[in-house]
Amino acid sequence: MGIRRELEARSFDQTLVRWILRFAGNPNISVRLWNGDEFQIADGNPVACMEIHDRGVLFELMRSPSIGFGECYSQGRIEIDGNFRAFMVELTAGVTKRRRRSHYGPKLRSLIHAARVNSLALSRHNVHHHYDLGNDFYKLWLDDRMVYTCAYFEDSEKTLEEAQVSKLDHVCRKLQLQPGQKVVEAGCGWGALAMHMAEHYGVDVIAYNNSHEQVRYARERAAAAGLERQVTFVEDDYRTISERCDVFVSVGMLEHVGLANYRTLGALIDRCLAPDGIGLIHSIGRSHPAPPDKWILKRIFPGGHVPSLGEMAAIFEPYQFTVLDIENLRPHYAKTCAAWLENYDRVADRVVDMYDETFARMWRLYLAGSSAAFETGTMQLYQVVFAPQDNNSLPMTRAHQYPGSH
């Protein structure tokens, strides 16, 4: 009787695994259970093996695939034997393919999420959750300037450091910065763009950020560089911005704004931007509206929303801004996240010492999953340049974006 029950249990376990793999779009991976059973349902050599250490993992994956995988990997109940990033690319591609066949569920969940409003207090809480982990944590694996947004790899041989400087210049050229202009930056991170604009383009910058840790660091860096008269860092929410400006720029903040606040952001830009001004919003995006990943929402970016271009239109259309240029830097962000992951893996033991094993694994999964999302096209990276509709002082071509190309 005991043998029969064991055989029935093993058969049931294998049925669950096959169902989970089908739900994940039949990725080309193998699965090894705690009892040594190993199998796959896709053809070809698997890119990696997912090791499941206890039966409870199967039920976690059945109940909520995203949260179940994220939590179980973070806890060490799932291990990946093989190239972790390649595994995540294969898994993400499979899940994305399966989701394309579903139409109504994602739309309904997206509508539910769109109704959520990030209040000032909630926005501060969400920012603190991600960015106030301590500057020392981010210093371990970011570049020297602490740029935590997509780099710009003009050629594949560029280092992360070089590509981040290229991104800063790419943004500045799109904004056609001129000495003496006043720039407002919403969501400035550790201040790299604000200081780069001031130092290399001669503009005056007022930069807003909710994160105490980031603002403190940015002020120290600006003072050390002798830029404190040109750059002012304000520890406050973007919704308190009131300064008039020639240029408005936001790099990597829109993901935290919340869909319900897009019109509010558009109204703010409309009030602040001069009639002959120009603006740029740089944001992670999607090719179509969809809800955020549940595990990312729970553990990494609470309150976040990754918009489609259509959803971003709520910022521009009500205030008659003209969209001048849209560039998708998706491949650049896949490469950026891969570089971050490589840096992170070199210092993972130090992250464990600073926090714990679960935290270290959680962030490894986040970085690998992000790189996979951009590589498979699940996520995009949009840079949108815009201006008041009657601004006729703008150049006729994009030549200013690519100096030396003509």
Give residue limits of the domains in the chain.
2-101, 118-329+376-401
pLDDT digits (tens, 9 = 90+) for 13-35: 989 999 999 999 999 999 999 99
The confidence band for 107, taking pLDDT boundaries of 50, 70 and 90, is very low
Domain 2-101: give its CATH code: 3.30.1050
- Of the listed ranges 40-54, 59-73, 95-109, 205-219, the one predicted with least confidence: 95-109
User: What predicted TM-score, i.e. pTM, was given to this entire model?
Assistant: 0.90
Beta-ladder partners of 50? 31, 80
Distance, CA of 353 to chain centre? 26
Burial class (CB in 10 A: 0-12, 13-18, 19+), 5: exposed
pLDDT top residue among 119 and 351: 351
Interatomic CA distance for residues 216 and 225, integer angstroms: 14
Burial class (CB in 10 A: 0-12, 13-18, 19+), 398: middle
Distance, CA of 152 to chain centre? 15
The CATH architecture that domain 118-329+376-401 belongs to is 3-Layer(aba) Sandwich (3.40)
pLDDT digits (tens, 9 = 90+) for 244-291: 999 999 999 999 999 999 999 999 999 999 999 999 999 999 999 998
Interatomic CA distance for residues 288 and 33, integer angstroms: 36
Question: What percent of the chain clears pLDDT 70, i.e. is strictly above it?
Answer: 89
Interatomic CA distance for residues 247 and 323, integer angstroms: 15
Distance, CA of 314 to chain centre? 20
Cβ atoms of 64 and 294 within 8 Å: the answer is yes
